[in-house]
Each structure stands twice: as C-alpha cells, then as structure tokens.
Structure 1
C-alpha cells in the first residue's frame, strides 16, 4: 500500500452490505471488526448514516493512520471514542452534527498531523482537548457556531499562539455583540461569563452540500465486510 507517482496513495475502503433490506446501520459497535481489519492503515467511513460510535469501537485498529468519517451524523465525541488509535495521523470529522467534544477525546492521539472539525455544530472547544496534539500541523475548526465566552479563552490563546496553522477563519456565532468576530481577534476582556446561559444554535446551518475532502468511494455501513481499493487524494 505505497505511494504512486502522482503523490496519491492506495486506500482500503470498507463496504458493508445489509441482509435486512435497505436500512442503514447507524452505530459502530464496541469491538467493531472485520477479517483483516486490524492490519488496515487507511479506512474511509465517510458519507454514511453513522450517528453513534460506541466506546473502544476502533480499539483493534492499532496500525490505522488515516480515518475519514466526513459527512455522517455524529453528534458526540467521547473520551473513549478513539481509544487505541495511537498511530493515527489524519482524522477527518467534518460535516457531521457534532455538538459535544469531551475534554480528553483526543488524548493518546499524539501522532495526529491533520484534524478536521469544520462545518459541525460545535459551540466550544477547550484548550486541553487539543493542546496534547504535539505533532499537529493542520487544524480546521471553521464554520461552527462558537459561543464566545470565558470557556473559549484557552482555544483563543492556542489559536493566537500560531503553533499550528489554522485553515479558514473560525468566528463567534453568539453572543450577539460578538457575532461574526474572528476568534483570533478576541482578547480575554471580550470573553466573559456573567451568567449561566443556554445557547440556542437551532438556527445555525452547515453547508448541506459539502465539498469532498478527497476522492472517496461512498460507503454504506451495514453488516457484511467486503474490501475494495480505490485512490484518494490527501
């Protein structure tokens, strides 16, 4: 599985078929595995209907370096979601419905080079969540409805440090006084928490027709494992 002359790489794509009709499976179960899956280096699960990833679902994929879950229905990234992926370098989670990322969701992923969280429904990311990604070279977090209060100070400081190139221009969605302001232009004085408030992001819409982040096969997640190869651009 090596590079070809034009800089692209072969990618193993997982195609799973259902025997119960045209009903998509929406949950990656704990211990999710197929024959030979533990040797995979690249795995594309993009453009499915996956909404739930159970604890330790990828625990056997210790050799995995590239995971694309672009354009699914995931809402929560838990501390245990990516447990065991110690060799992972590329993690693409764009265009889901992510609202919650637990503080230690990316702990142990010290080899991550590219992390893409853009075009979700994320209102806040804590500094502790990404500060341990010491090899990070690209971070995409734009097009999320950020609530700019004191909870965002750590992230703003991280972005302003310039330690990692940030693609796009993440901006405040609320409060109204800061709406549209770039995160990197904020100061601690702007980021206050006077009262406990509940942010309403029901009016926030992400692009319903996302641009692909690579030329991947569309995959349907169902029940029987079949392996195919295609070509993907990073």
Structure 2
C-alpha cells in the first residue's frame, strides 16, 4: 500500500516558548538597532531627495534621483530579508523579469528612465518613513516593558547593596507598610522576583508581537510584483505542449511488427 506523504509544514513566523527561543533575543537585538538604523534611513532618504530636486536644473539631480530610488529599494529589501531571517520565513521566489533588448542608440539615461517604477518608488519611500517612525516607537515600548520586568527581578539585589553600602532602605515605605502587612524582607524579595519574572515573560511576548506588526508593516509576506511570464514565452510553451500532444496521439508508423513463427 502506497504511503501518503504529509504536506510540508510552511513556517508561519510565530515564536513559541518565548523565554527559551533564540528568535526572541534576535528580535530584541533587531529593535535595539532599529532606532539608529531608522534615523540613518530617514536621513539618507530626505537628503537624497532634497539634493536630487535641488540639483535637477543642472542635470545632476536626475541621475541622483534614480540612484536614490534604487537605494530606497535596496533598504526595503534589506529590512525584509532581515525580518525573514529572524522569523525563519522562506525567501520568496524571485520575480521573472522580461527585459526586451535595448534599441540601438539608446543612452544610459533612457535605460534608467525605462527601468524606473513610480509605484515601487512611492512604496519604498513610504516604507522607509514608516520604518523611521516604528523604529522610535517600538524601541521605546520594548525598552520600557523589558526594563520594568528586569527592575522587579533586580530589586532584591539593589536593596541589599544599598542597605550594606549606604544604609538606605528603599523598601521602608511600601504597600506592605501602608496596609500593615508584616512581611520580612525575604518574603518581599520572593514576591518581587515572581512579579518580575511574570512581567519579563509578558514583555518578551510583547516584543514578539511588535515583530509581527513590523512584519506586516514592511510587507514581508506580500511581494510587490507577482512573477509574470511574457506573452511570447506563453505562446511558445503552448505550441510545444500542442506539438507533444499531437505526437502522442499519432500511431507509430514504419515500426517493425513482431514476427511469430509456428512451431
């Protein structure tokens, strides 16, 4: 009996076991770098566009504009590939680009104009601007939630150091004393560490949720152009398929028939 093969599981980019998953800490590193990278992307985009517009009357701005458009597309592709590497997503297939042979006498400027895609340029520019905004917002959110959890975990150590070195009791006026709960320092330490672990675990889940939002904002799963096959190639493939079908339908002629001899 022929065994039925199970379909291959396609990775969806979701992160499980956030505390022990390397993807979580790769995401934290990504958001730590998102702030300086977002500022660099924004500066390059605005400076390049301003220079290309300002230098357009002396002809230098025109090729500079096309160079900036190419650079923005490279930035977006780099960010998308980095998110795919962190989440373990498969690399999308490369779109089939059909380029006609350039006409004789066509200069480099005309080739740049023909290769320019206005819709792709607007998309890349908006994604770079969004990357600048989300880089700041997500960096602040990540640092806040992680610092809150680590602060509760490190509170007992900080309290012991301050008590021994500076005779400063930071747990003197707390909710325990306000509600007249007579807990020892060790009991309070255990409570703070437990709360800190819960906050830190939830902070890691928040970080992974931010990465999923960033994945959708950067259109990681949605390619800009679907692979397209030229009309000439489609006609050629159709002719070939019809030719092979015609050959299969025709009976074999001129073939030697097997000879049977009587015994």
TM-score range, shorter chain: under 0.3
TM-score normalized by the length of structure 1: 0.20
Larger radius of gyration: 2
The structure in which a higher percent of residues are helix is 2
Provide the TM-score with structure 2 as the length reference. Answer: 0.19
